[in-house]
Amino acid sequence: MIPKGEFTLGINPNNKIIQFMSDATLSLNAQPAQKTYTKSFFIDQFEVTYDAFHRFKPKFKYKIKNSSEPIRGVNWFEADAYCHSQKKRLPTEIEWEKSARGIDGRLFVWGEKYSQENGNFSSQVLPISSVSIDTSSYGVVDLNGNVSEWTDSWYSSYKNSKFKDSLYGKKVKVIRGGSFHKMKHGLMKEFALLPYRNFALPQERFWDTGFRCAKST
């Protein structure tokens, strides 16, 4: 269970790590950093695996090396339906970020500095919990690497943000977390930042994106 209380959401524009990011990855939509309160909630320790999702939807098949790989290539609607079948739901993006950052505002689950060895940022997906250091202070696994994850949240502006985006509103869903696939972009550190906000149409599918479930207390 993730306890109730405040944590640091987002990132400040004067953070040193911002100075080394490209215009496309400045995390303008995640500024400014701010204290945010959440009620207590449950979140799955692991991403939903291929094996678990296949039991829910047997016709959904693709080539795998290990049935304990996180499910990939599912759209938001399928992820949402799976969680509800388990009497759970997708986590909000705020719940996701708190689960990853803890209460000390860290930028990666292990601390302030990026390390490619600390998560699965390789060229292929791995079974869940393959990289032990990619575990948050709350014991939640694979939030920084392996696959990115759908959240329940529509993409919208943060409180006190000056950044404007035509996609704000009920248009696209927020995706959180870095993934193995991002190394192809050459921007692994930027995409792996825990405050980084990605988004997509809920009907889209990506081969580096899966999900985990959450539940209100």
Provide the domain count of the chain.
1
Interval 94-129: pLDDT, tens: 999 999 999 999 999 999 988 888 999 988 999 999
Provide φ and ψ at 24, rounded to 5°: -75, -15
Domain that holds residue 206: 5-216
- The pTM (predicted TM-score) of the whole model is 0.94
Q: Are 100 and 140 in contact (CB under 8 A)?
A: yes
Q: Concatenate the DSSP letters of all residues of 151-187 into one string.
A: EEEEP-PPTT-----TTTTTT-EEEES--GGGGGGT-
| Domain CATH code at residue 160 | 3.90.1580.10
pLDDT per residue as tens digits for the range 138-156: 999 999 999 999 999 999 9
